[in-house]
Structure 1
Amino acid sequence: MLRLTKSAPAANVIAAVLLASTLSACQVRHDGPEESEPAPSDTGAPGEAPAATPSPSGVSIIREEVTETPSTPAPPKPLDVVLPFPDGTDVSPDAEELLELVLQSGAMREGWPITLAGHTDSAGNDQANLRASRSRAENVAAWLIERGVAPERIRVIAFGEQNPLLPNARPDGSPDEVARRRNRRVELRVAPPADAAQSPEKQGETTEAP
């Protein structure tokens, strides 16, 4: 520190005061607080993923992937279809539409046995009706075989007029033509062997597919 005496000129006193002020200001800047250090980076080492930030409760907000268990499809059910034969023994257009759906069914893809039961109305004698019912069922079997169905899967049963869906005559005894047309049909069943064996065969003629 500069020490002044009483004999120093006034100019020297003023210069000494200014010099002391300048030194004091420099000392204040030097002794002030140092700049704060930058916060450490959370990027981690090069090539490493940043650490997960925990939630306020202390549990990580990153959830583990949940693997869904694939659902098992339900097995197909036995298939029962009534194929109309309103006139004659040839496969009718309506019956063909139904057979196309049958080919696409899950029961057919399972390879289950196929039962074809032929039926007629009550017109004509018993033997003629039995032959007609068998012919209808055999024509359906041939239709299926032409489209790749194995013949050994198919069983043909001829019932004739024995099992009508509706009465063939009205209460007064007159023929009911609408009911007779519905009775001329083939009943198709596709089912596992145990269920297919339960198909009604009473008084029916069973044959293998041609």
Structure 2
Amino acid sequence: MSKPMTMVAAGALVLSLAACDVRRAGEGEGDPPVEEPDPTAEPSATPSATESSPAASILRDDSAIDVPLVEEPTEPVDLTIPFASGSDISPAAERLLEQLLREDALAEDWPVILAGHTDSGGNDQANLRSSRARAEAVAAWLVERGVADSRIRVIAFGEQNPIAPNALPDGTPNESGRRANRRVEVRIAPPPADDDDRAGFDQGA
């Protein structure tokens, strides 16, 4: 081997040894070596992210919250029962009364006020008797179907409170208006503080 080649080989050997020293010096610096998990070791009792999170103690399941149900108050009932003539309950009037039996207000312990009305035909006393007979016919119908008689109050108004004109402008009878005035008004509502006027009706004659 020639002398120049021997010197080149010696220089390469020196550089290789220096690189080894550098690698050994760097082994104690930087990130520590990662330990490989032992497959035979039992899992540690590390809390889950949900358990260790501070927000987990604040958040809650809305579906588990009991929302109280608010009951709707029972509404009063106002119903007009028509009477074509006399005090007989017509099939149309009976259908209205059957609807009344299904009202929630009737299931309450509220007074049932029956106000009888007539048109202006006849004298005052006859109209009072006729209006009372109509209201009492409705009362008897309700009692027969289970409504307590003690809850029912009958008021006779006669011709005092028309809801339509009894006569036309020329003075002739207004038949449609008179027919509308022959009626019984039913009201079922809580009694007000003043028991003398429980249904909001005037006592009349």
TM-score, normalised on structure 2? 0.70
| Superposed displacement of residue 53, structure 1 | 4.2
Cα RMSD (Å): 2.8
Match of 1:157 among 142, 148, 155: 155
8 Å contact from structure 1 (residues 78, 107) kept in 2: yes
Q: Give runs of aligned pairs for residues 1-210 of structure 1, distance below 5 A.
A: 37-38=38-39, 40-41=42-43, 52-54=48-50, 59-60=55-56, 63-64=60-61, 66-194=64-192, 197-204=198-205
8 Å contact from structure 2 (residues 189, 199) kept in 1: no
| Superposed displacement of residue 37, structure 1 | 2.1
CA distance in 2, matches of 1:136, 1:89: 5
| Superposed displacement of residue 130, structure 1 | 1.3
| Superposed displacement of residue 74, structure 1 | 2.3
Deviates more, 1:162-171 or 1:83-92: 83-92
Cα deviation per residue 1:145-174 (whole Å; 9 max; x = unaligned)? Answer: 001000000011111111111110011111
8 Å contact from structure 2 (residues 187, 199) kept in 1: no
Q: Which has the higher helix share?
A: 2
CA distance in 1, matches of 2:54, 2:156: 78
Q: Note the residue ranges of structure 1 that are not aligned, 5 or more in a row.
A: 1-34, 45-49, 205-210
8 Å contact from structure 1 (residues 52, 60) kept in 2: no
Q: Which residue of 2 aligns with 1:9?
A: none
Figure out how many residues of one structure are paired with residues of the other and give that number: 165
| Superposed displacement of residue 192, structure 1 | 1.3
- Give 4+ residue runs of structure 1 displaced > 6 Å after superposition: none
CA distance in 2, matches of 1:36, 1:129: 105
Where 1:145 maps in the other structure, the secondary structure is helix
Where 2:164 maps in the other structure, the secondary structure is coil
Which amino acid is the alignment partner of residue 86 of structure 1? A
Where 2:159 maps in the other structure, the secondary structure is coil
Aligned residues with identical type, % of pairs: 52
